[in-house]
Amino acid sequence: MGNSKEKEKAWGGVFTETTDKRVELFTESISFDKRLYEQDIRGSIGHARMLCDVGLLAQEEFERIEKELLEIKSEIERDQFEYSTSLEDIHMHIERALIERIGDTGRKLHTARSRNDQISTDLRLWVRDSTDLLDFSLRDLQAAFIGRCDKDMDVVLPGYTHTQRAQPVLAPHYWLAYCEKFKRDRQRLADCRKRVNILSLGAAACAGTSLPIDRQKTAEYLAFDEIAANSLDISSDRDFVLEFAFCLAQIALHLSNWAEEWILWSTVEFNFLKLPQPFCTGSSIMPQKVNPDVLELIRGKTARSIGNLQTLLVLTKGLPLAYNRDLQEDKEPVFDSFDSVKACLELAAPLVAQTILNREAIASKLDRGYLDATSLMEYLIKKGVPQRTAHGIVGRLVRFAIEKNVPLAHLPLKTMKEACEMIDYSVYEVLGAENAVKAMQSYGSTAPDQVQKQVNLWKMNLKFE
Ligand code: ARG
Say if residue 322 is preceded by a cis peptide, omega within 30 of 0. Answer: yes
119 lines ligand 1 (CB under 6 A): yes
The pTM score is 0.95
- Of 31, 74, 283, 426, which is the active-site residue? 283
What's the mean pLDDT in 342-366?
Answer: 97
- Greatest pairwise CA separation for the chain in angstroms: 101
Span 124-165, pLDDT tens digits: 999 999 999 999 999 999 999 999 999 999 999 999 999 999
Report which of 284, 271, 337 is spatially closest to residue 308, judged by C-alpha positions: 337
Average pLDDT over residues 251-271: 98
Is there a catalytic annotation at residue 173? no
Backbone angles phi, psi at 214, to 5 degrees: -125, 95
63-73 confidence digits (pLDDT tens): 999 999 999 99
Residue 29 Cβ contacting ligand 1 at under 6 Å? yes
Residue 416, pLDDT > 50, answer: yes
Expressed in angstroms, the distance from the first to the final Cα of the chain is 56
- Output the average pLDDT for the chain: 96
**Averaged over 186-199, what is the pLDDT?**
98
- Asked if residue 58 lies in contact with residue 52, where contact means CB atoms within 8 angstroms, the answer is yes
Residue 8 gets which letter from DSSP? P
Q: What is the mean pLDDT of residues 356-360?
A: 98
Contact 101, 68 (CB under 8 A): yes
Instruction: Check if the beta carbon of residue 242 is closer than 8 Å to that of residue 309.
Output: yes
Distance 85 CA to ligand 1 centre (A): 14
Amino acid present at 323: Y
Give the phi and the psi of residue 277 in degrees, each rounded to 5: -55, -40
**Ligand 1: residue whose CA is nearest its atom 11:** 325
- Ligand 1 atom nearest residue 89's Cα: 1
pLDDT at residue 2 is higher than 60: no
Ligand 1 within 6 A of 120 CB? no
Catalytic: 235?
no
The pLDDT assigned to 3 comes to 41
- Cβ of 450 closer than 6 Å to ligand 1, yes or no, is no
pLDDT in tens, 374-403: 999 999 999 999 999 999 999 999 999 999
